[in-house]
Homo-oligomer: A and B are copies of this chain.
């Protein structure tokens, strides 16, 4: 079941900047598979960052910054300390991209490293197979699966723990050497949901095993387009900021029209061609690098 979150947001009288936040949360949590708590951490980091920028702009005055944003000066001091520590130590702040699905992405690689499989040998970690078992197993494992061993839940959990530690190491964050059963379950869910791994029940094994089903982790669905979407939006805001500041090279356009389905294809092709021709015509070496970003789609009058 797919829920149209824009409609629900409308019912809840959400508007403007909140709608943007909702969209971000929705993408981060539901589509990319970041943990709920990790989104909250990232939002908190973003807010701290804004306070820090303001602190710099206010001549490093704790009290003035506090009054400007209704934060206790003591808290401003903590925020400044935390961010300057990150700058000094060259570590990253608690954000989304610096944490997950980083360790999800690492799982297939670590699996291949620790449990490689050579055809002709047993496909199950720590167990030999007779020829009947071998055949039964083959029925469960599609040919395109990566050439690695099947492992049990304990081994999968160890892989996850190890990957978490590696990933935490890189971010030199503390307190990350505990991995609760709930977190393990969540990570196994994400790996299964994204079809990175599959659970395999074999007639001759008491407990189900796990097989690596893909060479890399990617959130389910239109993942490439989703990533593009985040990049595009970041870029779009960056461009609009130039327009807000009335910079010379900033340009913004908004067009509405109604389009008949029969000429849609033609209209889009012409638009595409038109933009390319315009780009070719005005491009000149040694000029200012310019970027143009456009999106077009159905217009929901209630929302847009």
**B-side contacts of A238, CB under 8 Å:** 6, 23, 297, 300, 303-304
Which of A35, A42, A285, A303 has the most CB atoms of chain B within a 10 A radius of its CB? A42
Residue among B237, B249, B276, B285 making CB contact with A255, cutoff 8 Å: B276
Q: How far is the CA of A51 from the CA of B261 in the complex (A)?
A: 36
Q: A127-135, A156-164, A179-187, A199-207: which lies at the B interface?
A: A179-187
**B-side contacts of A298, CB under 8 Å:** 242, 247, 249-250, 288-291
Q: How far is the CA of A281 from the CA of B236 in the complex (A)?
A: 27
10 smallest beta-carbon distances between A and B, as pairs: A43-B43, A25-B46, A258-B287, A18-B95, A239-B295, A70-B186, A242-B297, A291-B299, A239-B297, A21-B46
Q: Is the beta-carbon distance between A249 and B264 smaller than 8 angstroms?
A: yes
For chain A, residues 50 to 75, give those with C-beta under 8 angstroms from any C-beta of chain B: 50-51, 53-54, 56-57, 59, 66-72
Residue among B46, B83, B246, B290 making CB contact with A258, cutoff 8 Å: B290
Residue among B30, B231, B279 making CB contact with A257, cutoff 8 Å: B279
Q: Is the beta-carbon distance between A26 and B42 smaller than 8 angstroms?
A: no
Assuming the contacts A53-B26, A267-B282, A278-B274, asked whether A69 and B297 have C-beta atoms less than 8 A apart, the reply is no
Residue of B nearest to A14 (CB): B95
**B-side contacts of A19, CB under 8 Å:** 234
Q: Is the beta-carbon distance between A296 and B250 smaller than 8 angstroms?
A: yes
Q: How far is the CA of A36 from the CA of B242 in the complex (A)?
A: 25
**B-side contacts of A252, CB under 8 Å:** 228, 232, 294-296
Residue among B68, B98, B245 making CB contact with A193, cutoff 8 Å: B68
Stoichiometry, copies per complex: 2
Assuming the contacts A3-B53, A45-B18, A68-B186, asked whether A243 and B229 have C-beta atoms less than 8 A apart, the reply is yes
Q: A85-93, A111-119, A208-216: which lies at the B interface?
A: A85-93
Q: Is the beta-carbon distance between A2 and B57 smaller than 8 angstroms?
A: yes
Residue of B nearest to A274 (CB): B274
Q: Please give 19 more A-B residue pairs, beta carbons under 8 A apart, in addition to A8-B49, A18-B46, A30-B53.
A: A8-B53, A15-B97, A17-B32, A29-B51, A29-B69, A39-B47, A40-B47, A233-B240, A239-B295, A247-B297, A248-B261, A249-B259, A249-B297, A251-B268, A251-B272, A253-B295, A255-B278, A291-B298, A291-B299
Q: How far is the CA of A286 from the CA of B244 in the complex (A)?
A: 35
